[in-house]
Chain A
Amino acid sequence: MHEYSLVQALLEQVEALRRERRLGPATAIRVGIGALAGVEPELFRLAYEAACDGLPPAAALELTAIPLEAACRQCGHAFAVERFRFVCPACASPQVEVSRGDALILDSVTFAPGEEP
């Protein structure tokens, strides 16, 4: 259960964006969870709710799954990785590079307007 620690990183970054741009509170946060990110979406949401408990109205958290994709270093074939088998389906080479789906991505944040000058 390291999701709590990841939620802390998320909240820090949202707060940094808000300050940087002098905006109002965040109203929606969109996060993409890669299949190989090592993050369980339900636990991430629970950790987020726990972290926001007692704070001003929390931003809506939207989670989307990012599929795992890779490219073959031998033949260049791009493919979806099934069941974590990192083998090129075209040429059977195991030398493949993950191109997408191994990270936890902060996609975008919606902020309420900041205070008028």
Chain B
Amino acid sequence: MSEQIVRVGRDLLAERREAAERFRQARAAEGTLVVHLLSSPGAGKTTLLQATLRYLHGTARTGVLVGDLETDRDARRLAPLAPTAQLTTGGACHLELPLIERGLAQLNSEPFEILFIEDVGNLVCPASHDLGEHLRVVLLSTTEGDDKPAKYPKAFRTSQALVLSKTDLLPHVPFSVEAAAADARQVQPDLVVFPLCALTGEGVAAWCAYLLARRQELLAGRGSR
């Protein structure tokens, strides 16, 4: 017998993607819209979630899974607003599906209408991992520079919506909403863009209306990534 070459030609993440697809379909069957938020550290994911959960209070049953390297600070900020599970990655730079499944089981709740997943602050690694979400949203804050989409193409290419956060700082920073949106649409032409300020509430209503509309689409059996 001699050496044997086995040809595979398969995506290394194919099995994980199939598992994510099963999770996505199971949540859809329960009527849960899964929203995955990603951004660099400090873009305002947790603050956006605080504003979103407050706005949706009484309108939609929400739950949150929040990833962090070490602390539970983000979870403590969100827990008063909605059932929240902390997913501590112990230094890993991104979330993966098994952590999501464990976190959801930990919440031990009847199905949510909208389940938010806040990924670890990082625009690189989370972009390559399907968490079984129906909607991927990338945040870009006005303090980061409007040239990020071209620098981190995968995060923007794989998202369906772009939140431009901290618009209250626009008078003070060299950031153009138009330039950032145009740059992002070069990478992903179908991006829906939401300029907003979670602290003042500006733009939050339009963003929440979008989420509710996406959930209605999901219920009608049309929503998928």
Contact = CB atoms under 8 A, between A and B. Distances in A.
Interface of A: 1-2, 5-6, 9-10, 13, 17, 21, 23, 27, 31, 36-39, 83-87, 94-95, 98, 103-114, 116
Given A36-B153, A38-B128, A86-B187, A108 B6 contact: yes
B108 interface: no
Contacts of A83: 150
A105 B4 contact: no
A36 B154 contact: yes
Interchain residue pairs A-B with the least CB separation, the first 6: A94-B189, A113-B1, A2-B125, A84-B153, A38-B128, A103-B11
A108 B5 contact: yes
Interface stretch (B47-55, B89-97, B207-215): B89-97
A105 B153 CA distance: 19
Interface of B: 1-13, 15-16, 92-94, 96, 124-125, 127-129, 150, 153-154, 157, 185-189
A16 to B, nearest CB: 10
A32 B91 CA distance: 27
A109 B186 contact: no
A9 B13 contact: yes
A95 B4 contact: no
A117 B128 CA distance: 42
Contact of A2 (B2, B92, B186): B92
Contacts of B10: 105-106
A27 B6 CA distance: 11
Contacts of B186: 84-87, 94
Contacts of B127: 38
B128 A111 contact: no
A43 to B, nearest CB: 10
A2 B128 contact: yes
A1 B93 contact: yes
A66 B13 CA distance: 16
A103 B157 contact: no
A71 to B, nearest CB: 15
A112 B9 contact: no
A18 to B, nearest CB: 9
Contacts of A103: 11-13
A2 to B, nearest CB: 4
Contact of B3 (A1, A13, A113): A113
A109 B12 contact: no
B216 to A, nearest CB: 25
Nearest to A112: B3
A108 B92 contact: no
Given A108-B5, A113-B3, 13 more contacts: A2-B124, A2-B125, A13-B12, A13-B15, A37-B128, A38-B154, A103-B12, A105-B12, A106-B8, A106-B11, A107-B9, A111-B5, A113-B4
